[in-house]
Amino acid sequence: MTADLSDADRAALTLAIEIVRNESAGRRAQIDDKLQSEPWFEVAAFGAYGAQSAALALKPWECWPPCMVEPDDSDEPGQEHRSIGKSAALLRQMLACGVSRWHPDPIGAIEAAEAAR
């Protein structure tokens, strides 16, 4: 998978690892341990998931941040509380602004991209 990553994706994933490592000593140890035993991309995706979930203040039932959905995903009828459609809409906005799906702060990255235009 890492061969398919753009420079922006690599930068976003690296930032995600850094952010998660800086959350606490326990998280630093967790990420460092994972980096020794798991592929870099898997650890970085884990970091992006956690960082995006925190940055977006997702509720426990909102199970997928933008890095885990596809742009055309939607909620199943009766499952709208899971906010998959909301994450997909945010991902579409990120991609339209040239922001990596892996960026740890989706809203901040969109705002920065729009301000730079």
Going 12 to 56 to 62 to 59, the CA torsion angle's sign is positive
pLDDT digits (tens, 9 = 90+) for 41-63: 999 999 999 999 999 999 999 98
Domain around 54 = 2-116
Please give the Cα distance from 11 to 109 (Å, whole number). Answer: 12
Q: For 61-81, what is the mean pLDDT? A: 92
Going 98 to 89 to 58 to 76, the CA torsion angle's sign is negative
Could you tell me if 94 and 66 are in contact, meaning their C-beta atoms sit under 8 angstroms apart?
Answer: yes
Q: For 87-115, what is the mean pLDDT? A: 97
State phi, psi for 5 to the nearest 5 degrees: -80, 140
Question: How many structural domains are present in the chain?
Answer: 1
Going 57 to 60 to 63 to 68, the CA torsion angle's sign is positive
Please give the Cα distance from 43 to 7 (Å, whole number). Answer: 17
The pTM score is: 0.92
User: Which residue, among 37, 46, 47, 42, has the nearest Cα to 15 in the 3D structure?
Assistant: 47
